[in-house]
């Protein structure tokens, strides 16, 4: 069976759609506490975060990973990359200000490029990297509106490279290192 970019995108949207539809009725009657913030994995790598409290001690998280858009007019090379992660955190208070949290996170990173070179010519490339990770972290409430978090996400990552409609290669990695440790600054607010 030949895998195409279209099949991968359809599968991704179906997966994300079932995740969002599944939780809608569970959160309709809860006054919504939310968090918005930045997650730093170093000085040159940051993600945007959005968290929504869905039950006591349970938080749904959305993380928008790095994005890139590049175009080179000399050889008409084009590159577009984006990633998204979502999951559910479960909190256990340690003190009034400090909590331990953990949970599963699913992510998908896509990188599409068109390379125009003399050898082998023009090619369309898609790299898809789905991952599943386990979030382990601590959150400190600086005030009622701001919180700091320190977390690590050991992950199992698949990487599939498609070139001109066919799978060129694939690999599976397990990742746990100090580069994946992140510090987050979150702003908390409530909506009705």
> According to the model, what pLDDT value does residue 178 have?
64
What are the pLDDT digits (tens) for 13-60?
554 454 444 444 444 444 589 999 999 887 767 889 999 999 889 999
> According to the model, what pLDDT value does residue 81 have?
86
> According to the model, what pLDDT value does residue 51 have?
95
CATH number at residue 180: 2.40.160.20
Domain of residue 40, residue span: 5-191
Count helices and strands in the chain by DSSP H and E runs: 1, 11
Question: Can you tell me the mean pLDDT for 134-145?
Answer: 96
Per DSSP, 18 falls in state H
Residue 49 near residue 62 (C-beta atoms within 8 A): yes
> According to the model, what pLDDT value does residue 23 have?
46
> According to the model, what pLDDT value does residue 65 have?
80
> According to the model, what pLDDT value does residue 25 have?
40
Give the Cα separation of 12 and 28 in Å (integer).
26
Give the Cα separation of 191 and 103 in Å (integer).
24
> According to the model, what pLDDT value does residue 175 have?
81
Question: Can you tell me the mean pLDDT for 70-83?
Answer: 75
> According to the model, what pLDDT value does residue 56 have?
87
pLDDT band at 2 (very low <50, low <70, confident <90, very high): very low
Give the Cα separation of 89 and 103 in Å (integer).
5
Domain count, the chain: 1
pLDDT band at 179 (very low <50, low <70, confident <90, very high): low
Residue with tokens 């125009």, as numbered in its chain: 116
| Residue 187, pLDDT above cutoff 70 | yes
> According to the model, what pLDDT value does residue 104 have?
97
Give the Cα separation of 152 and 148 in Å (integer).
14
What are the pLDDT digits (tens) for 80-135?
888 999 999 999 999 999 999 999 999 999 988 877 766 666 778 889 999 999 99
pLDDT: is 67 or 109 the higher one? 109
Query: Under DSSP, is residue 41 helix (H, G, I), strand (E, B) or coil?
Result: coil
Query: Lowest-confidence range among 10-24, 71-85, 146-160, 174-188?
Result: 10-24
Give the Cα separation of 46 and 182 in Å (integer).
9
């Amino acid at each position: 069976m030949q895998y195409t970019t279209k099949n991968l995108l359809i599968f991704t949207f179906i997966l994300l759609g079932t995740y969002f539809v599944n939780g809608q009725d569970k959160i309709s009657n809860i006054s919504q506490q939310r968090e918005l913030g930045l997650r730093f994995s170093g000085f040159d790598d940051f993600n945007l975060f959005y968290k929504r409290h869905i039950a006591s001690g349970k938080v749904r998280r959305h993380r928008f990973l790095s994005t890139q858009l590049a175009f080179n007019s000399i050889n008409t090379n084009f590159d577009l990359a984006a990633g998204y992660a979502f999951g559910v955190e479960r909190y256990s208070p340690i003190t009034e200000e400090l909590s331990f949290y953990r949970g599963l996170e699913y992510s998908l990173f896509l990188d599409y490029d068109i390379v125009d070179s003399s050898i082998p010519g023009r090619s369309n490339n898609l790299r898809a990297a789905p991952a599943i990770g386990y979030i382990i972290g601590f959150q400190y409430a600086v005030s009622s509106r701001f919180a700091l978090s320190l977390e690590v996400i050991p992950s199992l990552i698949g990487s599939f490279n498609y070139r001109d409609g066919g799978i060129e290669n694939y690999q599976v990695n397990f990742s746990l290192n100090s580069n994946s440790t992140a510090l987050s600054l979150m702003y908390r607010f409530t909506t009705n």
